[in-house]
Structure 1
């Protein structure tokens, strides 16, 4: 099944990328005690705080989309125009 990504909003792509980066970073912290963001940008620097803030805002955006904006998100991610499949009895 092929998904139609032409209607996906650019913000959704950025948010997804930031959440993946944040998830990988937290996985590294949890499993290996290694903070990739701090290693790249420095511990407690303005840039690392900006990255953390953007990841947090991305999570809030997704919470909003999953609760209030769920219908619109479904239309962006799913191909709702696909023909219905026959049901076997």
Structure 2
């Protein structure tokens, strides 16, 4: 897993936790930390989470390296 993929995964976990808090408790953690959901910094965080989600869509269609290794016949 590349550094970009790990970074995107971290942002997606943050976004997922935030959405869980919104869904269960009506509490927006990002807005609480950065002073409201319409502040510039909060909107940047929301935008980064969205871009990471779009990038992570490409991982769904990327073949797994493990599966590729299993499909190749071993030459001895």
Structure 1 segments of 4 or more deviating over 4 A? 78-82
Distance 1:80 1:39 in 2: 45
3-state SS, counterpart of residue 34 of structure 1: coil
- C-alpha separation in 2, matches of 1:52 and 1:79: 34
Q: Which residue is 2:73 aligned to?
A: none
Q: Distance in 1 between matches of 2:44 and 2:4?
A: 17
Q: Find the aligned partners of 1:79 and 1:66 in 2 and give their Cα distance.
A: 14
Alpha-carbon RMSD across the aligned residues, in angstroms, is: 1.8
- Tell me which of the two structures has the higher relative contact order, counting C-alpha pairs closer than 8 angstroms and 6 or more residues apart: 1
Q: TM-score, normalised by structure 1?
A: 0.69
Q: Which residue of 2 aligns with 1:62?
A: 56
Residue matched to 1:10: 3
User: Cα offset for 1:64?
Assistant: 1.9
CA displacement at 1:79 relative to structure 2: 9.0
Counterpart CA distance in 2 for 1:42 and 1:12 is: 29
- Offset from partner CA, 1:29-60 (integer Å, 9 cap, x none): 00000000000011111110010000000110
1:81 deviates by 6.2
